[in-house]
Structure 1
């Protein structure tokens, strides 16, 4: 399985727009084949930090997700409004 932790740093002015796009991304991604979990979290200590946690069955399902219309549309929108850092973990 594959786990992605995507940290998004946003300004106060862009926070609501990023959250809106991220929630849409979560709702659509949960329907993708091989998606085990997909959630967005808001930091309780740093208001400017959000985190998307994704768990995928395998690399094939993650790659297919990255080709979906919702990913291709929403991720660039989020990247325009905030900076992203991705950590990837794999386990059997």
Structure 2
């Protein structure tokens, strides 16, 4: 399995737009083949930090996800509005 923790740092004026795009990404991605878990979290202590936590069956499923229309549309939208940092774990 593969787990990605995607940390998103966003300015207050862009936070709502990022959250809307992230929620849309989550909803679509949960339907992707090989998706075990996919969710977005808001920090309880830092209003400028969100995190998408995703778990995939294998590298093939993750690669297929990265080529879906929702990924190729929404991720660049989020990247335009915020900073993203990705942690990847394989287990």
Q: Which residue of 2 aligns with 1:23?
A: 23
1:35: Cα distance to partner?
0.1
Which residues in structure 2 correspond to 1:45-84 (within 5 Å)? Answer: 45-84=45-84
- Provide the aligned length of Structure 1 versus Structure 2: 91
SS of the aligned residue for 1:46 comes to coil
Which runs of 4 or more aligned residues in structure 1 lie more than 3 Å from their structure 2 counterparts after TM superposition?
A: none
TM-score, structure 2 normalization: 1.00
**What RMSD in Å do the two structures reach over aligned CA positions?**
0.2
SS of the aligned residue for 2:40 comes to strand
| Unmatched runs of 5 consecutive residues or more in structure 2 | none
TM-score, structure 1 normalization: 0.99
